[in-house]
A and B are shown apart, each in its own frame.
Chain A
Amino acid sequence: GDSVTQMEGPVTLSEEAFLTINCTYTATGYPSLFWYVQYPGEGLQLLLKATKADDKGSNKGFEATYRKETTSFHLEKGSVQVSDSAVYFCALIPDSSYKLIFGSGTRLLVRP
C-alpha cells in the first residue's frame, strides 16, 4: 500500500547550519507530496507541497523537490534558525484519493 518513510530524529543542529530531512514514498501513479510542520503545542500547518514530478515546493526558506525517479521529497533549508525547532511530517495524497498519508515525523532541534 501507499506509505511514507522519513529519517528518524531527533535532528540537532546549530543555528545557521544546513538542514536536510529525508523522505521517500511508496505509491502508484503520481501522488501529491507535502511537508507539514508542527510547532510545540500546536496543530499541523502546511509548509510546502509539490503536485507533479520535478516540481519544487518552497516556503519560509525551506525547499523540497518531487523526484519521481528516486521516489523522494527531501526537505532542505540553507540556514536554520532556533524558531525552526519543530516536528516535520512528510505526507502524500495518492492518485484518485483524498486521504492524506503521513510519515512518522522528524523532530528538529536548533541550538543557538
Chain B
Amino acid sequence: NAGVTQTPKFQVLKTGQSMTLQCAQDMNHEYMSWYRQDPGMGLRLIHYSVGAGITDQGEVPNGYNVSRSTTEDFPLRLLSAAPSQTSVYFCASRLTGEDEQYFGPGTRLTVT
C-alpha cells in the first residue's frame, strides 16, 4: 500500500490564482479530511468527507472547495489564492469506526 499520497509537495502561487491539491489513498478508507498547519496553531480542519459523494465543512473552510467522487480521491481546490492561505496542507484518512488517522506527507503552499 502507498498509504496517503499528496501532490504537489511544494507550490508557489500568485494572489488570485486557483489550483487543486491532490490527495489519494489506497486503503479503502471511508473518512478523509484536509488540515492546514500554521506555526503555533496546530492543525486545523478545513473540510472532511465520510464517504463518496458526502462532504462537510470543518473549522476553517472559507476559500476552499472539496468534492469526493470516488473513495480513493479527495482533492482540495483553492478558488482564488490569498496570502493568508500560505500554509502546509495535510490530507488524512481513516476507516469508519477506527481511531487512527493516516496522514500524507503534506503540501507546502506559498501565496505571494
Given A32, A43, A98, A102, which contacts B106 in the complex, CB threshold below 8 Å? Answer: A43
Interfacial residues, chain B to chain A (CB-CB below 8 A) = 4, 31, 33, 35, 40-45, 48, 50, 58, 90, 92, 94, 96, 99-101, 103-106
The answer on a CB contact under 8 Å between B99 and A34 is yes
CB-CB nearest in chain B for A44: B103
The answer on a CB contact under 8 Å between B99 and A89 is no
Which of A13-21, A45-53, A62-70 lies at the interface? A45-53
Interfacial residues, chain A to chain B (CB-CB below 8 A) = 4, 32, 34, 42-46, 49, 51, 89, 93, 98-105
The answer on a CB contact under 8 Å between A51 and B99 is yes
Q: List 17 A-B contacts (CB under 8 A).
A: A32-B99, A34-B99, A42-B106, A43-B90, A43-B104, A43-B106, A49-B100, A51-B99, A89-B43, A98-B31, A98-B50, A98-B94, A99-B45, A100-B33, A100-B45, A100-B101, A102-B42
Instruction: List chain B residues, Cβ under 8 A from A103.
Output: 42
Q: With the chains together, A93 CA to B105 CA distance in Å?
A: 22
Q: With the chains together, A19 CA to B40 CA distance in Å?
A: 21
Give the shortest distance, in Å, between B91 (CB) and chain A (any CB).
9
Given A43-B106, A44-B90, A98-B31, check contact A49 B42 (CB 8 Å). no
Taking each of B31, B42, B92, which has the highest tally of chain A beta carbons within 10 Å of its own beta carbon? B42
Instruction: List chain A residues, Cβ under 8 A from B48.
Output: 98-99
Q: With the chains together, A89 CA to B33 CA distance in Å?
A: 17
CB-CB nearest in chain B for A43: B103
6 pairs of A and B residues whose beta carbons are closest in the complex: A43-B103, A102-B42, A104-B42, A44-B103, A102-B43, A43-B105
Give the shortest distance, in Å, between B32 (CB) and chain A (any CB).
11
Instruction: List chain B residues, Cβ under 8 A from A44.
Output: 43, 90, 92, 101, 103
Give the shortest distance, in Å, between B101 (CB) and chain A (any CB).
6
CB-CB nearest in chain A for B99: A32
